[in-house]
Every structure is written in C-alpha cells, then in structure tokens.
Amino acid sequence: MQKGIIVDDASIMRIRLREILEKEYAIVAEAANGEEALQMYNEHVPDFLTLDITMPQMNGLQALKSILSTHPDARVVIVSAVGQKQIVFEALELGAKDFIVKPFDPDRVLKAIHRLFA
C-alpha cells in the first residue's frame, strides 16, 4: 500500500482528507504547516503528499520548492482554496502533479492520487 502525508493547517480538512484517502492508502503522517511538512517528508519519504497553500510559518508553495529541491521525484498534489490562475500555474511549474481547488469532491481527490501511480 502506498504511503501518503496530508498537509493542511485546518484539522477538519486533515480529518476529511484522511477519511477519503485511507480506504486505499496508508496515511503515515499529517502536518499543519510547511515546516512540519518538510520534517515529515524527510522522516517518512512518502509516495505522495497532499499540500495546502495558505498556512502559517511556511506556506505550501515554499514547502513545495524545498521538498522538490531535495526530492525531485516527489509526487505532490496541491489541495487549496486559492485557485487563482497565476497560483495554479506557479504550483504546476514548480512541479506539483495536480491542483485541486477547495471545496472538493472526494472522487476528485481519489482520482488525482490514482493518476500519480498510473
């Protein structure tokens, strides 16, 4: 079973994403900001990561850059309310594999993760 990490500053979103994903994947850690995400990534080296953008301390785009600088093959899916065109372009250009805009449908999340391993 592939391992994933959920990164979101809102505990309610971590709970909901876990409920969606853990039917098919092992969620090995959660993080509430970009700094924690880096720590958790290095500790667990997961097969994928869902990453929010608007978070305290270090935002998702900064975390995405850091993770990809040390793990260029990291599979990162952004799950964010901030789906502005320029931000979506920036995230995908940096190397995110997909961008899901909140509010999301559970199926959209599962499909995005399935595609990472297709």
Q: Quick one: CA dihedral 100, 91, 113, 28, positive or negative?
A: negative
Binder of another protein out of 86, 93, 107, 118 (CB under 8 A)? 86
Helix (H) / strand (E) containing 42: helix 34-44
Binder of another protein out of 56, 70, 115, 117 (CB under 8 A)? 56
3-state secondary structure of 56: coil
Q: Does 83 bind another protein (CB under 8 A)?
A: yes
Contacting residues for 86 by C-beta, under 8 A, at least 6 apart: none
Binder of another protein out of 54, 70, 115, 117 (CB under 8 A)? 54
Q: Does 23 bind another protein (CB under 8 A)?
A: no
Distance CA(49)–CA(35), nearest Å, equals 14
Smallest distance, another protein to C-beta of residue 51, A: 14
Interacting residues with another protein (CB under 8 A) = 9-13, 15-16, 19, 54-56, 80-87, 101-103
